[in-house]
Chains A and B, each alone.
Chain A
Amino acid sequence: MPFYFRPDQVLTSFKRLASRKSQGKTPMERTSSLMYFLSFDAVAKKSAKDILDFNPDKSEGKENRKLIELEFRKLVLIKMDESEILQVIELSKISNDSKSPEKRISSNFLTVPLKKASEQAAPYLYPKRPSTPLIKMGQSATGMKWGMKHHDGWPQNLPKLFSEIVAPTVFTDLAIFIFRDSSIDKIENKNYVDVLSSMITEKYTPSLASFWIEKIKKEQVFVKHIKDPFNDFHEPFSKCIKDASHYPPEEKEIINNYIGYLENLLNENHISFKPLTRE
């Protein structure tokens, strides 16, 4: 009998991935780096290869591009219909972005860093900001012009990518979010650690899986927010998103500015109020 993570549990875990820095590009950049790395690893697992070729002129390269785009889509897409594309651009937040996930990874990762890596002699390490490489690319790093493989230091660097996240159970919460709509049918035991371990092992390379599972086991001592996390029926995670970002980004900015203006007006006139705007 298959079972699933409850959407409210997924939402709790997802929100716990909030970054200390609520503004600026850092959380978005880190989210992108993480998602590209996980997508790459999942494709490496599927292909059972250490080095993947993304050469756009070869059929294998084209296939790998499709696969990584698909993995990325599975990771970040929450809901897509004619009117909106709800997806994760920054962990803990759902955004309505007109660019599809496939387009995002294609233009932001496959076109820029990977292309650059194919043109340079030295190994191209990614991400560069922060300098915590998870992936290396290019001829000298992989033996293939359009090659991509794990950076040797990824186990040390991956936790650094999470250093701005406040909650101490990042690996657990991230896994719950990733397997938000997955059907769990190969495991009887409804212990979240066992469930996540099984699903991570199935989806990711053995090195990433064992690393991740070890972290989840260690984090158990900090877990107080996971109680009865499963449902026997599937309720899509997207159902529980009361999305505040149904407005296009530019409209949101106008509203934010207007709220700021009104709050200033209240301040100037010494009228006390509970502010809505955040730093």
Chain B
Amino acid sequence: MTAFPTFFNDKSPVPQIKQRLYNGRKLVVYEGKVKIAAINGWIDNPRIELAKKKLLSRVGNRELTQTEIFDLMKNDPEVKLKDLRDDLLKNGLREPLTLSYTGKLLDGNRRFFAIKYALATMTVTDPNRQDLETVDAYVLTDAATEEDEQNVLVEENFSASLKLEWPDYVKATKIMDANADGLTIDEISKKFDWPKSKIRETLRIDEIIQEFLTYSTSPVDPEDESGGGFGHSENEAETIAAKNYQYFNEAQKSFFDQLKTDFDFKIQFFKWINEGKFSSFPEVRIAYTAWRTPEARAALMQPDPSAAKSAKSILDYNSRIVRSSEEAVGRIENFVKFLNEMSATDIKKLPQTSRDKLEEALGMVIKMNKAASSE
């Protein structure tokens, strides 16, 4: 094996030889620290192809300099170089770069330019500067073929990242812990790099979830008019809360105040969550309107799995305006058909108030029809 490439940092420990798997192929690489100043960014990076074409049309068809590529990367909003730079300043380089033996960047081009960007914003006396002047890298040996380099490119740039973010509920727990520790919204925002509005939303979601947990873990009480709680253990309750986190978020967005002021609705909403009544955000969104609309509420209270869907359909239908006489004709035909299919027993089963309303409406229709016919 030949000497180490010159861009390795000669002051740091000697690079180690390792075997790594790229796209199913084992390759021998050096693992060590490389000097950022000694390597170049990847000019042919497809990520900036469009921006590069635009620039070339202005400056003429020539090879672009490292500075020009750097500027392109900085100014292309799609590249989000500033975000990555800020992350590097806070956390350092999370993942090593990968280079060919000749110093061609096979993976980490965006990270490389973000490091340059970070270094440009740091003072020469900044104590963190040296952490970015030399960074961790894997370097292919001179024995690597072009096909090997291609394998690295494919693996690092085409394969979907398998890194899984924390579930929202877990992230929210961290925000809530910080809030409980007495941190201000500003401080939490800085700590987690989330906008303040998102922190406030998270705390509101937590407010609903905390109530849900309290209610869920309360014992079942047949003597209580709402039947008491669900009698869940803390773990069971938290599992349901975590599973439904985004539904609680939707509730926070759509009817937070109503949850805080309408006790009966709050209890019913918790029951719906517990029963797994909702299967989509739009179904959650209409929950309060459905609660306030007798027809939709009755549909939503049904035990069948499509109850929320039916309630939504009723509300959607009710919200539509009768735009034409054809539509009115269609609606009347459907309603008449519905009435004709009812038996006297069915009518008898209806509450008296509904029968009175029906009679009143039919009486009104008869009068209006007579008046219209005599015109």
Contact = CB atoms under 8 A, between A and B. Distances in A.
Nearest to B200: A20
Contact of B214 (A160, A218, A222): A222
B261 A275 contact: no
A159 B264 CA distance: 12
Q: For chain B, what secondary structure do more than half of its interface residues adopt (helix, strand, loop), or is it mixed?
A: helix
Contacts of B186: 279
B262 interface: yes
Interface of A: 20, 159-160, 162-163, 165-166, 168, 215, 217-222, 224, 274-275, 277-279
10 contacts: A20-B203, A20-B204, A215-B263, A218-B264, A221-B214, A221-B226, A221-B228, A222-B214, A224-B218, A275-B183
Contact of A222 (B211, B261, B264): B211
A278 B182 contact: yes
B245 interface: no
Nearest to B186: A279
A163 B260 contact: yes
A159 B265 CA distance: 13
Nearest to A215: B263
A264 B162 CA distance: 41
B224 A221 contact: yes
Nearest to A217: B225
A217 B263 CA distance: 11
Which 10 pairs of residues, A with B, have the shortest CB-CB distance? A279-B184, A159-B261, A163-B260, A168-B211, A221-B218, A279-B185, A163-B257, A218-B263, A222-B214, A160-B261
Interface of B: 182-187, 203-204, 207, 211, 214-215, 218, 221, 224-226, 228-229, 257, 260-264, 266-267
Contact of A159 (B204, B207, B226, B262): B262
Nearest to A163: B260
Contacts of A166: 207
B218 to A, nearest CB: 5
B260 A222 contact: no
A278 B180 CA distance: 12
Contact of A221 (B182, B187, B203, B229): B229
A20 B210 CA distance: 14
A175 to B, nearest CB: 15
A159 B184 CA distance: 28
A11 B284 CA distance: 37
A34 to B, nearest CB: 14
Contacts of A20: 203-204, 207
A247 B150 CA distance: 72
A277 B184 contact: yes
Nearest to A160: B261
Contacts of B187: 275
Contacts of B215: 221-222
A278 B184 contact: yes
B218 A275 contact: no
A224 B214 CA distance: 8
A159 B259 CA distance: 11
B200 to A, nearest CB: 9
A218 B226 CA distance: 8
Contacts of B226: 218, 221
A162 B185 CA distance: 22
B264 to A, nearest CB: 8
Contacts of B228: 221
B261 A218 contact: no
Contacts of B203: 20
Contacts of B214: 168, 221-222, 224
Given A218-B225, A222-B214, A222-B218, A160 B184 contact: no
Contacts of B266: 168
Nearest to B219: A221
A189 to B, nearest CB: 16
A156 to B, nearest CB: 9
A40 to B, nearest CB: 21
